[in-house]
């Protein structure tokens, strides 16, 4: 049978879709976007808009392929408690690894299957990937769930509480990936910094992973500032395999707004931790996420946030206008910001982000950095440095090799447009 996977949302969803793809391929299913017998939509519910997109895509594929088996899974499905009209197989955020069994069961019985569980009482669902079909960089999901309950976020309700992958299984999975040629591993999860497997923390995991000889780079997809302890900072200082890039969500540079968001730090704490990280590795790239136009964010708080981001000097800011998420505490807050004001504030931060990004990259002009080649086109080769600068080179470089390259204005490439809301699985991931 032929299948197609459409993924919305975060890196964890992408990992899970890649895992499902590996299961289907091993079972003899064939990818076919044009005439699929099975369509799997891995959904997102982070905002009300994400819900609408998820619902729209399920309806769209049901309309386009009326005879296909439609599988809807993931966060939106969990949020609506499985109430999805246009799907034949409905799976929340547990039992995704059993998808082959559910497909076979549906083919035999032709009866709708709904698998929704209470996410407050589930174990970590093991998924192991031995090789990514196209990425030089391989993701490894080490954790699921979140205990933070930020006031704007629905994820703890649909993903459940923090639970972690067995320590030894992660080491085994990384060894498989490295043996299959992957040079860089990205550790990912819903709340990666909370990793804990029988007392072994993220620090213990990193300390073990750096021992794997053929593994050249270890990257953490995202980590909260309160979880970067002195042990991790000391390891960053000592171990070159840990890349020179950390993505640390700030969300707001105003103490008042941070409190409204139920974030677990203030500006002083955040700044002191960033300074400590930079003491351990001077030129490390620190990127962040920022929400603007949060309920109760006055012009004063917006300016305070803007000036704080300038002071920190991030190398890139991912800016999001606050989007209402039904079921969260933030919906109950007064002081809603109009869409026009949000747009103005977003644009100001995007301008700042571009300025900071250019300032950061310019520091490396004339310097030699190591580049991992990840993509080769007809004209050029592209890759990333340890500190996540995208580099463009002639196409005579070899895929999946690391080269020392002198950085100049011509070979700094513009980052690709973010396509995180649409991931096509096509024999290889795009």
Reported as a single tens digit per residue, the pLDDT across 398-430 is 999 999 999 999 999 876 543 332 223 333 332
Q: Is the pLDDT of residue 296 over 80?
A: yes
Q: Which pLDDT value is given to residue 387?
A: 97
Q: Identify the CA nearest to 42 among candidates 66, 61, 65, 63.
A: 61
Q: Which pLDDT value is given to residue 413?
A: 87
What's the predicted TM-score (pTM) here?
0.91
> What mean pLDDT do residues 343-365 have?
97
Contacts of 272 (CB under 8 A, 6+ apart): none
Q: Is the pLDDT of residue 94 over 60?
A: yes
Q: Which pLDDT value is given to residue 157?
A: 95
Helix (H) or strand (E) holding 187: strand 184-188
Reported as a pLDDT band with limits 50, 70 and 90, residue 130 is: confident
Distance of CA 286 to the CA centre of its chain: 16
Q: Which pLDDT value is given to residue 415?
A: 63
Tokens at 90, concatenated: 């409905």
Beta partners for residue 201, in sequence order: 196
d(CA 158, CA 146): 10
Between the alpha carbon of residue 255 and those of residues 36, 101, 251, 297, 301, the distances in Å are 51, 50, 11, 11, 8
Q: Which pLDDT value is given to residue 423?
A: 28
Q: What percent of the chain has pLDDT over 90?
A: 91
**Which is more confidently placed, 292 or 136?**
292
Q: Identify the CA nearest to 388 among candidates 419, 412, 408.
A: 412
Pairing state of beta strands 89-91 and 69-74? parallel
Q: Which pLDDT value is given to residue 414?
A: 76
CA–CA–CA angle 255, 49, 324 (5° rounding): 35
Q: Identify the CA nearest to 141 among candidates 180, 177, 101.
A: 177
Does residue 374 contact residue 384 with C-beta atoms inside 8 Å?
A: yes
Tokens at 9, concatenated: 């949302």
Task: Count CB atoms within 10 A of the CB of residue 398.
Answer: 10
Q: Which pLDDT value is given to residue 419?
A: 36
Q: Which pLDDT value is given to residue 225?
A: 98
3-class SS at 3?
strand
Does residue 383 contact residue 393 with C-beta atoms inside 8 Å?
A: yes
d(CA 334, CA 357): 34
Distance of CA 294 to the CA centre of its chain: 22
Q: Identify the CA nearest to 156 among candidates 93, 208, 98, 218.
A: 93
Does residue 261 contact residue 152 with C-beta atoms inside 8 Å?
A: yes
Q: Is the pLDDT of residue 58 over 70?
A: yes
Helix (H) or strand (E) holding 287: strand 285-292
pLDDT digits (tens, 9 = 90+) for 233-281: 999 999 999 999 999 999 999 999 999 999 999 999 999 999 999 999 9
Beta partners for residue 394, in sequence order: 380
pLDDT digits (tens, 9 = 90+) for 15-51: 999 999 999 999 999 999 999 999 999 999 998 889 9
Q: Identify the CA nearest to 249 among candidates 344, 150, 139.
A: 150
Least confident of 111-125, 149-163, 338-352, 405-419: 405-419
d(CA 357, CA 108): 55
Q: Is 343 left (phi over 0), alpha (psi -120 to 50) or beta?
A: alpha
Q: Is the pLDDT of residue 131 over 80?
A: no
Q: Which pLDDT value is given to residue 427?
A: 32
> What mean pLDDT do residues 204-210 have?
98
Q: Which pLDDT value is given to residue 134?
A: 62
Contacts of 227 (CB under 8 A, 6+ apart): 193, 194, 202
Tokens at 80, concatenated: 């609506």
Between the alpha carbon of residue 373 and those of residues 96, 175, 364, 368, 397, the distances in Å are 32, 21, 18, 15, 7
Q: Is the pLDDT of residue 382 over 90?
A: yes
Beta strand spans in 20-170 (E): 30-31, 38-43, 69-74, 89-91, 113-115, 137-141, 143-144, 163-164
* Half-sphere exposure (Cβ direction) of 90: Cα atoms closer than 13 Å: 22
Beta partners for residue 113, in sequence order: 89
Distance of CA 373 to the CA centre of its chain: 21
* Residue 384: burial class (beta carbons within 10 Å; 0-12, 13-18, 19+): buried
Q: In angstroms, what is the C-alpha Rg of the chain?
A: 22
Tokens at 1, concatenated: 């049978």
């Amino acid at each position: 049978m032929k299948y197609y996977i459409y993924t919305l949302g975060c890196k964890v969803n992408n990992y899970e879709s890649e895992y499902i793809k590996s299961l289907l391929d091993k079972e003899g299913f064939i990818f076919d976007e044009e005439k699929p017998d099975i369509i799997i939509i891995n959904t997102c519910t982070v905002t009300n808009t994400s819900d609408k997109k998820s619902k729209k895509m399920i309806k769209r594929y049901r309309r386009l392929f009326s005879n296909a088996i439609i599988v809807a899974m993931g966060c939106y499905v969990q949020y609506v408690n499985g109430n999805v009209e246009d799907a034949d197989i409905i799976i929340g955020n547990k039992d995704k690894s059993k998808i082959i069994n559910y497909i076979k069961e549906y083919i035999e019985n032709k009866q709708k299957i709904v698998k929704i569980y209470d996410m407050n009482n589930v174990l970590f669902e093991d998924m192991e990937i031995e090789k990514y079909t196209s990425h030089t960089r391989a993701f490894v999901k080490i954790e699921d769930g979140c205990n933070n309950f930020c006031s704007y976020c629905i994820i703890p309700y649909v993903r459940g509480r923090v639970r972690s992958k067995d320590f030894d299984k992660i080491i085994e999975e990384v060894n498989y990936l490295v043996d299959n040629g992957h040079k860089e591993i990205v550790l990912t999860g819903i709340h990666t910094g909370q990793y804990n497997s029988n007392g072994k923390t993220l620090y213990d995991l990193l300390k073990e992973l750096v021992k794997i000889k053929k593994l050249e780079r270890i990257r953490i997809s995202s980590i909260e500032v309160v979880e970067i302890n002195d042990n991790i900072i000391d390891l960053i200082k000592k171990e070159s395999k840990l890349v020179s890039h950390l993505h640390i969500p700030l969300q707001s540079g105003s103490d008042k707004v941070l409190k409204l968001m139920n974030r677990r730090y203030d500006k002083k704490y955040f700044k002191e931790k960033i300074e400590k990280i930079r003491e351990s590795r001077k030129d490390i790239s620190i990127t962040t996420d920022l929400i603007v136009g949060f309920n109760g964010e006055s012009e004063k708080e917006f300016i305070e946030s803007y000036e704080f981001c300038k002071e920190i000097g991030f190398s890139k800011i991912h800016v999001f206008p606050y989007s209402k998420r039904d079921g969260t505490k933030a919906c109950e807050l007064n002081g809603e910001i109009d869409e026009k004001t949000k747009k103005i504030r977003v644009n100001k931060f995007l301008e700042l982000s571009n300025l900071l990004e250019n300032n950061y990259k310019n520091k490396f002009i004339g310097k030699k950095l190591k580049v991992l080649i990840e993509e080769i086109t007809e004209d050029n080769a592209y890759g990333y440095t340890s500190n996540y600068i995208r580099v463009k080179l002639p196409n005579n470089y070899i895929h999946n090799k690391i080269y020392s390259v002198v950085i100049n204005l011509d070979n700094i490439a513009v980052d690709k447009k973010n396509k995180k809301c649409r991931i096509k699985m096509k024999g290889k991931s795009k």
